[in-house]
Structure 1
Amino acid sequence: MTRPLRPHPGADDRRRRRQGPRTAAHLFALALWPVAVMTMAHRVLVKAVNGYITDDFTPVYNAALAFWNGRAVYTANFSSVDPHYLYPPSGTLLIAPIAVVPPELSRWLFILANTIAIVVALYLLLRMFNLSVRSVAAPLLLLGAFASEAVTNTLVFTNINGLVLLGEMAFLVLLLRRRDYWSGAAIGVTFAVKPILAPLLLLPLVRGQWKVFVTAVGVPLVLTAVAWPLAADPAAFLTHTAPYLMESRDYFNSTIVGNGAYYGLPPLLIAGLRTLFAALVAVSLWLLCRYHRGDELFFVTTTSGVLLAGSFLLGSLGQMYYSMMLLPLLLSVVLPNSVMRNWPAWLAVYGFFSYDSWLSGPFPEAGRAAEYMKTTFGWSLLLIVISGVLGYRHLHTRRTPPAVQPDPVIA
């Protein structure tokens, strides 16, 4: 009679060591991954492919097609509320390849390119905080990003913000690694299309990384020099489009001046609010400067958030999906001294990041006000929270006496 084979006594121990302990964080990550991946698939394959009445892609495709065929590009009628083509000649040169294929296929490829860019940007963001893809932060970040209004409408409207986010993350990662020329080149490519990240140049200025400016300015200038003779009407960007970019419209605009104009606020009140929040931004930046050497990651991520949120709120045009560029500030919550470790900060995040609609049938006026004001409220509250946290820490440090060092023992 043969005996049944018994496993080696140490087999179970080796298996357990190989699999690792099933911690709560590990189990939470296992549960989050399928939810995050399916949310991303839904946003890309259903929401984005279906599209929406707001279509940022068609004017860009038509401009690229006109560029290829030697026709005028800057012919938009700015009296309508439809999306307009606003990129400079350097941006036209960069997006021109999208017109090589038919419009529908080109739009799908552009959605795919934005999706890949966002995923790569999220990976760079994780690595910037020294977080692994196996950590619970990875599926949580993926789910939070693709469930947000910023990423969802970037894909649904089919604009270029996903690629701009990748440029921002490449700029920040390379800046922290002191790869100055490449860091400047990364943000310079985004300047060639839109200057939304321009406030971030304060980071290398404060840190003394002057080489960044060589490529940050040089890349868009070279692209402009190449595009100018190839375009049919490059000067029209300066005479026709640039003046419109300087204006503050009263629709689809979450800035203080945009919402103020929509609700008919007195100009003096609008100016007062802008002055108040500009002062909060200035105070926050001044308080953050003391961290620029001792805590580089905290300084770069927090300062970038203050600069961008301030520019979104105080500029001439700020739209909700710009908030995608604040992701480095949001993930800084993992840092022990983060300004995001309080509930008012995340109430602000809900305001500018949530995909919820507050339009209400029974209460149309209140619902419309909540819907139109939530982004402005979120950016404003975020700046108030950051300045308050930094100010409290500064005052607490000044009031706390330094620890008394014991006298050295003399042998």
Structure 2
Amino acid sequence: MNTGKSAVSEWLLRPAEWHVRCVLAVVLVAAVVRVGLRVPDGGMDNAIVVRAAEAWLDGRSPYADRHFLYLPGAVLAAAPQARLPADVVRFLVPAGVSAGLVVGWACALRIHGVPWRSRFAAYGLLGLALGFAPFGHLVQLGNWTVGSAAALPLALLLVCRGRWVAAGLVVGVAVAVKPLLAPVVLLFVLACRWRALAVAVGVPALVSVAAALVMPDPAGFFTRTLPFLLRGEDTFVRLYEASPSAVLARLGVPQTGATLLSLCAAGAGVWCAWRRWRRGDEGPARIVECAVMLMLSAFLVSRPSYDHYLLVVLPLLLAGVPVAGTAARSPWFWVALVPQVPGFGWPGLEPATRRAFKDAVTLCLLAGTVGWACVRGARAGEPGEHREPALPGGPRAVAGEAARSR
């Protein structure tokens, strides 16, 4: 049995054939062209950010649109796009989203020591593009979540190489544009990396203050957006939220009870991440599982929480398939992905406003799978399988890392 598994792992890690790469390129380019021809503004979510930048350039408050859920730094980042011709934006945005997802996948592979040119790299990305519905949703919407989907794997790759401050800078820049990666700062707390924590918190704070000072409504994020996020009372947004608190409320559970259950689930997730870090074993799986568990815990309780948020964590988990003992080896990981297969229909859930129920199933199953992987003891790698690369510096660095975490 081990020989068979070893042969499969060896086959996956060999360089991909040229025709496989051609098929992957065609799929990615076709998705960009399809969105460019059908969506004139680069995507509905991208249009929200661009409209906010246009409002600022015209002297109005970007936070007049309550669906603009970004920090002030995003307004400045979107300002150049607001001046581009529409015919350029409609193709540039989906191409940029696809490129960001490819970068995130490449970084996730390197975290686990999987070659970029391997068959697993090509087939894995092809599976995400064709078999995971949120991938197409993100490209079509042009949502800026793609920045976090690229930044988190890059930051964790830097962490695995011992460059914590650089990782804090990457997280800080991503948060300055969209605060989706804010839960990851707890990873720096668990690791007692205070300089990295200061950078991760300081960069978005400085950028936000500087950007707010040049806006007509400097406190708009706190007076308009933050209350909207805390209440989650928007009817349009609620229909697409995947967090248990939103979905349970739609099923008839009192909002207070649904929120309490979500908070308990999120608290349990943070506890699982803490347990995983305290285990202190060698290899990047510790870094990945802690960070992913922290993000999933936030998704369980955050309002709003959309299906494409899963692309921030899924590539990190999927890239660990060739590595023995990772969370992606659990059958429940694959069961969690079934509701996201394009064309897989559930009776009564076909309308777009009801797919949030399927998204909630995926989110909860993924959180449970990763939480169990964090709490259970690390399985010994099976003979002949691809193993996790050690943290930089050899056994002494790993021992020192474990000592610091305690």
Residue in structure 1 matching 2:69, options 86, 110, 125: 86
C-alpha distance in 1 between matches for 2:40 and 2:24? 23
Is the contact between residue 301 and residue 332 of structure 1 (CA under 8 Å) also seen in structure 2?
no
- Asked whether the 8 Å contact 2:101–2:150 carries over to 1, the reply is yes
Counterpart residue number, 1:310: 297
Normalising by structure 1, we get a TM-score of: 0.79
Aligned match of 1:151 in 111, 135, 147? 135
Alignment check: 8 A CA contact 1:252 1:319 kept: yes
Gaps of 5+ in 1: 1-22, 79-83, 397-411
- Asked if the contact 2:269/2:296 (under 8 Å) is kept, the reply is no
Relative to structure 1, the CA distance from residue 230 to residue 136 in structure 2 (aligned partners, 3 Å threshold; closer, same or farther) is same
- Once residues 51 and 260 of structure 1 are traced to their aligned partners in structure 2, the CA distance between those partners, rounded to angstroms, is 33
CA contact (8 A) 2:240 2:354 kept: no
Q: Which has the higher contact order (CA 8 A, sep 6+)?
A: 2
Distance 1:143 1:269, change over 3 A: same
Tell me the CA shift for residue 304 of structure 1: 1.6
CA distance in structure 1 between the aligned counterparts of 2:143 and 2:248, rounded to whole angstroms: 26
**Aligned partners of 1:286 and 1:226: how far apart in 2?**
34
Secondary structure at 1:162 match in 2 = helix
Please show how residues 242-253 of structure 1 align to structure 2 within 5 Å: 242-249=226-233, 250-253=238-241
Structure-1 residue corresponding to 2:249:
261
| C-alpha distance after superposition, 1:335-367 (max 9, x if no partner) | 21212212112111333x4333526xxx54688
What code does the residue aligned with 1:33 have? Answer: R
Contact 2:245 2:261 survives alignment (8 Å): no
For 1:42-57, list aligned pairs within 5 A: 42-51=30-39, 55-57=44-46
Larger radius of gyration: 1
Structure 2 residues without counterparts, runs of 5 or longer: 1-9, 381-406
1:409 — aligned with what? none
What TM-score comes out, normalization by structure 2 length?
Answer: 0.80
Q: Using the alignment, how far apart are the partners of 1:297 and 1:94 within structure 2? A: 32
Please say if residues 240 and 353 of structure 2, whose CA atoms lie closer than 8 Å, have aligned partners that are also in contact.
no
Q: How does 1:3-402 map to 2 (within 5 A)?
A: 25=12, 26=14, 29=17, 32-51=20-39, 55-76=44-65, 78=66, 84-147=67-130, 148-249=132-233, 250-267=238-255, 269-271=257-259, 273-278=261-266, 280-292=268-280, 294-326=281-313, 327-351=315-339, 353-356=340-343, 358=345, 363-364=347-348, 371-393=355-377
Cα distance in structure 2, aligned partners of 1:182 and 1:283: 26
Asked if structure 1 preserves the Cα contact closer than 8 Å seen for 2:176 and 2:204, the reply is: yes
Distance (whole Å) between structure 2 residues aligned to residue 175 and residue 241 of structure 1: 32
Contact 2:296 2:367 in 1 (8 A): yes
How much has 1:24 moved relative to structure 2?
5.1
Aligned to 2:402: none
Task: Tell me how large the CA RMSD over aligned residues is.
Answer: 2.9
Moved more, 279-288 or 319-328: 279-288
Q: Is the 8 A contact 1:167 1:190 kept in 2?
A: yes
Aligned amino acid, residue 319 of structure 2:
L
Residue type matched to 1:333 in 2?
A: V
Residue 300 of structure 1 deviates from its aligned partner by 1.0
* Runs of 4+ in structure 1 over 4 Å off: 23-31, 365-370, 389-392
Amino acid in structure 2 at the alignment position of 1:93: L
User: Are the equivalent residues in 2 in contact too, given 1:358–1:370 (CA < 8 A)?
Assistant: no
Deviation at 1:390, TM superposition (A): 4.7
Tell whether the 8 Å contact from 2:269 to 2:367 is kept in structure 1 after alignment.
yes
**1:223-269 CA-partner distances (Å, limit 9, x unpaired):** 12321232122222321222112122432101011112222213464
Structure 2 CA distance for partners of 1:45 and 1:72, relative to 1, 3 Å: same
Is the Cα contact below 8 Å between 1:66 and 1:73 reproduced in 2? yes
Write the distance in 1 (CA, Å) between the matches of 2:78 and 2:228.
21
